[in-house]
Chains A and B, each alone.
Chain A
Amino acid sequence: MNEQPIISVRNVNFYYDSFHALKDISLDFAPNSVTALIGPSGCGKSTLLRLLNRMNDLIDKIRLEGEIIFEGKNIYDPGVDPVEVRKRIGMVFQKPNPFPKTIYKNISYAPKLSGVNNSDELDAVVEQSLRQAVLWDEVKDILNRSAMTLSGGQQQRLCIARALAMKPDIILMDEPTSALDPISTAKIEELIDELKKDYTIIIVTHNMQQAARVSDKTGFFYLGSLIEYDVTKKIFTMPQVKQTEDYITGRFG
């Protein structure tokens, strides 16, 4: 794990209005790995995740100090277009949120925005993305049906496929299984394991077993600070900080 980080957070402080949501956070994310961010509600882990693809830009009255370096450049430099950042760093949300359009149109949304109009090319991207998300066999005959007719687990895999279709480098997942049943959750976790060969995955989760199962490294957040960041095995077997231990053993949080 001594490779160059794909994205690194450097001395980030973040404020919602006057609320200090993230306090001097610095951490590196390794490419082709899964990093889990854990911690009790309101600890800032989702905030950090949304900083990585500039989704927080959509909120008013925010302030950021520090840098987030992606490919050698601070993505918060004035010259950087957030739209370009989001094209490289995809996101999957807590609640499956497919568009109320057909399955096909959901997947082809991002490629079309990037100017792919050739229908053969689009077909290929749709198939490839759905295959990567292990959804192809289930939906290949109903591509023109509304995505809303799929089950929750299928919808979430569709959302993953939709993010894959824009060929990102990093995929951010914000509690992607918290609205799903155990079987769908297991499928998503398998999928995450598969995807890390080609992508870097950063996942926020409330489920500590999930963090232990899927991630290579884990960061523990508490009250806006990064308390401990290490290899997942180490965090879960011999945490260095008392708070981390208390949290993962369920004493609070």
Chain B
Amino acid sequence: MKPNHIFFSRETKERIIKRFFLFCAFISVGVLALILFSLFHGGMPLFETVNIKSFLLGMEWYPTFEPPEFGIFPLIIGSLIVTTISTCIAVPLSILLAVFTAEVAPDYLKNTVKVIIELLAGLPSVVLGFFGMVVIAPILQDSFNLPSGLNIINASLILSIMVVPTIASLSDDALRAVPKEYKEASYALGATRFETIAFVIIPGALSGIFTAIILGMARAIGETMVVLMVAGGAGAIPESIFDSVRPMPASIAAEMGEAPRNGLHYHALFAIGMVLFFITLAFNIVADYVSRRFKEGGSSSL
């Protein structure tokens, strides 16, 4: 038989294909590197005038005053508090939902619920923000007698709606990945379905569930539109969950348009971006570490 490649030998073809994929991989890495470069390039000049400690721990965020104050501690607290509360709301809901779709529901219901979860994941955040402004805010205002319904609890509720699909679908995958053998062993030992779920399946999926939670938190802390619309926007340390806050992404989005290019305020907003970047990076590293460690030792390494 004659070789059917006319222009290139097989080796050359293989090499071209390999190079091509390498090139594609480099493009995405390269883009990421460029973004990071511009982030740091925009943010670092701030620290020529403002020191890092007074930036991170300063209590006053008055970027347009004379002289300006660039303390982002209230913004960090705002971000952390809405993330924490929304996680606390979303985690139990998502895990129950995942157990339902992975283990309990009959097939037809399972598929319906999964479609709904996916729809929820696809909702534009501005729509959810709208919902928070026109539905949840008045309810909060009336039932708790508040001056404004745009506050921590409103933002947390909306964020939790956004995070549930992430945590639920990743947890669902983790629960399904628990080997069938464990389930059989449990049933054969006289365990009921719910004992099996509680003592074998959930513990077996714990690393995946934990990773799902962390990724959900990373999503919540970076979410911009919702917190911009419904968190209220006050750059102060809140005293109750009905106070208004100004999470970091909201600050960036709200002020970027007004900050003179290459001014201090402009650099300060980039620096906030850096802080956000480091927080989500930390979340991802933790998620990666956890899923790796559990993979090696099983849940008994807990």
Contacts and interface: CB of A to CB of B under 8 A. Distances in A.
Interface of A: 53, 55, 58, 83-84, 86-87, 90-91, 93, 95, 97-102, 105, 109-110, 113-114, 145-148, 159, 162-163, 166
B179 to A, nearest CB: 8
A99 B191 contact: no
Contacts of B297: 146, 148
A113 B299 contact: no
B280 to A, nearest CB: 30
B289 interface: no
A93 B299 contact: no
A55 B298 contact: no
24 contacts: A53-B188, A83-B191, A83-B192, A86-B187, A93-B188, A95-B181, A97-B179, A97-B182, A97-B184, A97-B185, A99-B204, A100-B182, A100-B298, A101-B203, A105-B300, A109-B189, A109-B191, A110-B189, A110-B190, A113-B195, A114-B190, A145-B300, A146-B301, A163-B189
A102 B300 contact: yes
A109 B199 contact: yes
B187 A146 contact: no
B contact patch SS = helix
B200 interface: yes
A139 to B, nearest CB: 14
Contacts of B204: 99-100
B209 to A, nearest CB: 15
Contacts of A95: 181
Given A99-B200, A100-B300, A90 B191 contact: no
B207 to A, nearest CB: 10
Nearest to A146: B300
A166 B191 CA distance: 11
Contacts of A91: 188
Between B187, B188, B204, B300, the greatest number of chain A beta carbons within 10 A of the residue's beta carbon is seen for B188
A55 B182 contact: no
